[in-house]
Structure formats: structure tokens, C-alpha cells
Amino acid sequence: MAAAASLPIPPGPSKRQELLIELSRVSKDYDTGGGVVHAMRDVSLNIEHGEFVAIVGTSGSGKSTMMNILGCLDRPTHGTYMLAGLDVGSRAGDSRAIVRNRVIGFIFQGFNLLPRTTALENCELPLQYRGVGGGERKRRAKAALEAVGLGDRMDHKPNQLSGGQQQRVAIARALVTDPPLLLADEPTGNLDTRTSLEVLALLQRLNRDLGITIILVTHERDIAACASRVVTMRDGRIVSDVVQDEPVDAASELANVPPPDVGGPLSHRELDDGEIKARRAKQPVPFRVFVSMLLGSKLGLAFVRALLAVAGVAVHGQFALLAVAHALALVAESWRGATVGRKRLGYPLTSDQRVRLALWYTVGTGVVGVLVVLAVTFGKMFALQSQLGAWSLVALVADRLAGRGLAVTVGALVGFHVALVLLRYLLLSMMNPRR
């Protein structure tokens, strides 16, 4: 795993003793219609910069309500909440959203990653909300992923990552804005013992090396044992607040855990390169890629048509000019197919996907060509031929083959489309982006 110190240290006060969080007699009430629920009752809590605090409690103890208020997702009914010297408890929703984006990073139990985007794109999302430029977004997202040990998994989608890797992507996404405060809501709830320790070791390293304040909500005492301070809640109140002078070192505990069973569930171990390639090869090519290729072909032909019209060149019946025009259209459609495929899938098209794309696109567009060739050959669609002849290479080929027999026509047609499949595959391979 890459050193966490590769991330820039977030801005903060020079003295640890300065308070980051001040809750003063905070209460939160919910009107359920049948009565009032007192989720938090007169809670006062101070947290200094650089602390690692675990908030522990059973279901209904008020720890989730505490997390919502600390994360500026909710407002206290009574009392004041000061965050980094700002009174955020009384602020309106839009103002609290700005504070969340600038000061707080969130880590959730369910990861909350966008399933159809890559790890890199997931990490860029908070910066996009800030209006950060594309180049800077990518640079900072790469740095965050490298800091959590995922520099070689940037182009992977969530379903190509193990549970621990997905949580590390979520941590990188929380770190990418350089927040002084990380809020982790049951970050190990969906993970096995070994993966949980890996995540906790990463959080401890971020806390120690970067001085990031971490508040972790959990109902598990062994998870809370890794924090330097444990706050226990019950019935909406703080019942204990204990500083742990020697918290459990997750990295040391991890060394004592047996390695994962390579035959176990994929969600509990990292995928090797062979498994990732196998999963990618089985994925279908999105229909949008085929549509984008067709659009690229039409745009390429339209471009050539415009150039020749400006030059005053007539192409009717001129095989060489038609061949050049269609060659440019092939280049345009292959470029569109490769780039749109990379964007939609989150990784470059595999060799298997390029073969399928070239084959089925050629078959699909070739159906129309078959009908045109056969119809023109038997003289049943001369009106259509005259309409398409100026810009259809197959129509011109059909005209040349007319009267030579069905066998010759079909043989030429098959050979023509086999050559198209090979040519499209080669062009897709040449234009297939690797990053």
C-alpha cells in the first residue's frame, strides 16, 4: 500500500489543543405525528484537531443522529454546534452544504460508489461539485487513490473490486478534497475481519501521518478499540467518554490474521489480473457504442461530401473517390467506437469486445447492403440505386456485378464484409485508448 503521506496535509491549526468541534447542550427532537422522539438530549462534546474518536452505542442510542448533526446533514433542535470556529448548527441548508463540501469527508458502510463509473471518476466527483478543472481533478484523484494503495486499480469499476478495495475508493473520495475532518459511519460493517483491519489500519495511518481528525460511528467494541478516544451513547445521552492511551494497532493485529482463503468469496479477497480480464471479456458492448459508430460514419461521410461540394467535384460512379470517402468514414466510426466504449465501460475495449463490436456492427449495417446489392442485381430497385449511388459504395459494387449471377454476387458480398470486419477490428485496436 502506498504511503498515506503522499497526500497533501490538510490545512489546520498549528496547535492540537485548538478545538475543531464544539457541541454545547445539543438536543434533537423528531415529531413522528404520534409524539415527540428525543433522539439527542442535552449533549455537550468537544473534539480537538487530530483526534481519532469512536462513537459507540446500540441501535437507538442516538449515535446516528449525532453523526448527522456532526456532518451538517441535520440541524439541532436546541443548542449550538461550532465546527472549525463556525456556528453551523443555525445555518440554512445551502450554507451547510458548502461546509460539508469544504470541511468534511464522508465514508459510508455501503461505500456509495457510482456503479457505472471507474474508481478514478468516483474520486473526481467531489471536486467536480467544487468546479475544479478536469486536469486538476484527475491529478488529485490519482494522488488520493495512490495514497490508499489503489494506484493500479484506477480504471476498475466497483463490481471489479473487492469489498475492501471499494471501501478504500470511498476513503480516497473522502480525502480528495483535503478535509480536516473524516466522518466514518460503520465503515467496516460490510467487511470481514481481515478487510476491516486493513481499513482501520489505513484510517489510523491517515490520523497519525496527516493529522486528520476522524470520527467513527460503530456498534462494535473491538472496532472502537482502535480509536484513541471512545464516546459511548445511550438513550440520546453521552454516558461515558474515555481516552485510550494505548489503542489497538490495527496493522499489528492484521499481521496475526491468517491470509484469506483463495477459494473464498470474491467480495472478501482481491481479484487477480486473470479474474479481472475474464470478467471484462464477458461484459457486453453497450448499445450506445454501436450507435456512436454509426453516427461517426455518417458524420465522416457528411464531412467529405461538404469538402467535395466546395471543390465542385462530382463523385457519381467514381469508385476511387467513393473508396476514399468510406475509408475516412471507417476511421471516424472506429475512433468513436473506441473512445465511447472506453467511457461507457470504464476501461479500454478488450480484444474479445473489439471482435464482437466489429462483427456485429458489420453484420447490422451489412443487412441493408445485402438488400441493396441483391435488389440492384436483379433490377428491382433501380430507383433506390440511383438515389444511393452517389454515396453508397455497395450500390456501386452492385452495379458493377449486375448480370454476373447470384453466386458471384453473394461470394463478392461475403468477401467484402469479411474484409470490413477485419479492417474495423484493426482500426478499433489502433485507436483503443489505454488510459
DSSP for residue 27: E
Task: Read off the pLDDT of residues 158-173 as tens digits, 9 standing for 90 and up.
Answer: 888 888 889 889 999 9
pLDDT value of residue 15: 40
What is the edge-to-edge ordering of all strands in the sheet holding 229-234? 104-108, 181-185, 213-218, 52-56, 229-234, 237-243
Alpha helix segments (H runs only) across 5-132:
63-70, 93-103, 119-130
Query: Higher confidence at residue 362 or residue 143?
Result: 143
32 pLDDT more than 70: yes
Q: Are strands 52-56 and 229-234 parallel, antiparallel or unpaired?
A: parallel
pLDDT score, position 399: 59
- State residue 387's pLDDT score: 40
The contacts of residue 343 (CB under 8 Å, 6+ apart) are none
Q: What is the mean pLDDT of residues 246-274?
A: 66
pLDDT tens for residues 134-158? 889 999 999 999 888 888 888 888 8
d(CA 219, CA 57): 5
> Alpha-carbon dihedral of residues 72, 73, 75, 79, nearest 10 degrees?
-40
Q: Which pLDDT value is given to residue 213? A: 94
348-374 mean pLDDT: 74
pLDDT of residue 226: 94
Closest among 344, 322, 306 to 388, alpha carbons compared: 322
Q: How far apart are the C-alpha atoms of 31 and 43, rounded to whole Å? A: 19
The yes-or-no verdict on residue 33 having pLDDT over 70 is yes
Residue bearing cell 466546395? 310
Q: Contact, 141 vs 117, CB < 8 A?
A: no
Looking at CATH, the fold of the domain delimited by 4-279 is given as Rossmann fold (3.40.50)
158: helix, coil or strand? helix
What is residue 358's predicted lDDT score, i.e. its pLDDT? Answer: 83
| pLDDT mean over 95-121 | 85
Q: Are strands 213-218 and 52-56 parallel, antiparallel or unpaired?
A: parallel
Give dist(CA 108, CA 113) in Å, integer. 10
The residue to which cell 461540394 is assigned: 309
**pLDDT average, residue stretch 406-431:** 78
- Look at residue 430 and tell me whether its pLDDT is greater than 90: no
**Contacts made by residues 349-356, CB under 8 angstroms, sequence distance 24+:** 349/285, 349/428, 349/432, 350/277, 350/280, 350/281, 351/429, 352/281, 353/280, 353/281, 353/283, 353/285, 354/425, 354/428, 354/429, 354/432, 355/425, 356/285
Range in 48-52, 163-167, 382-386, 392-396 with the lowest mean pLDDT: 382-386
Helix axes 406-430, 393-401, angle to 10 degrees: 150
Cell 468513436, located at residue = 336
| Range of lowest pLDDT (344-348, 377-381, 382-386) | 382-386
Banded pLDDT at 354 (limits 50, 70, 90): confident
Tell me, what's the pLDDT at 49?
92
What are the two backbone dihedrals, phi and then psi, of residue 218, each rounded to the nearest 5 degrees? -155, 160
In angstroms, the CA 166 to CA 400 distance is: 59
pLDDT at 434: 55
pLDDT of residue 255: 84
Q: Mean pLDDT: which of 43-47, 165-169, 412-416 is highest? A: 43-47
For the chain, the domains span 4-279, 286-430
The number of C-alpha atoms within 13 Å of 290 and in the hemisphere containing its C-beta is 16
| pLDDT at residue 409, as a whole number | 64
pLDDT of residue 382 exceeding 70, the answer is: no
Residue entry with cell 452544504: 97
| pLDDT grade for 13, boundaries at 50, 70 and 90 | very low
Cβ distance 207 to 50 under 8 Å? yes
| 420 Cβ contact partners less than 8 Å away, ≥ 6 residues apart | 362, 366
Does position 11 have pLDDT exceeding 60, yes or no? no
pLDDT at position 249: 92
Which range, of 26-30, 280-284, 413-417, averages the lowest pLDDT?
280-284
- Whole-number Å distance between alpha carbons of 115 and 24: 40
DSSP one-letter string for 289-336 = HHHHHHHHHHHHHHHHHHHHHHHT---TT-HHHHHHHHHHHHHHHHHH
Arithmetic mean of pLDDT over the chain: 78
CA dist., res. 286 & res. 290, Å (int):
7
Give the confidence band of 349 by pLDDT, cuts at 50, 70, 90. confident
% of the chain residues with pLDDT over 90: 24
- Bridge partners (DSSP) of residue 183 are 106, 215
Is residue 358 within 8 Å of 421, Cβ to Cβ?
A: yes
Instruction: Look at residue 28 in the predicted model and tell me its pLDDT.
Output: 92
Give yes or no for residue 359 having a pLDDT over 60.
Answer: yes
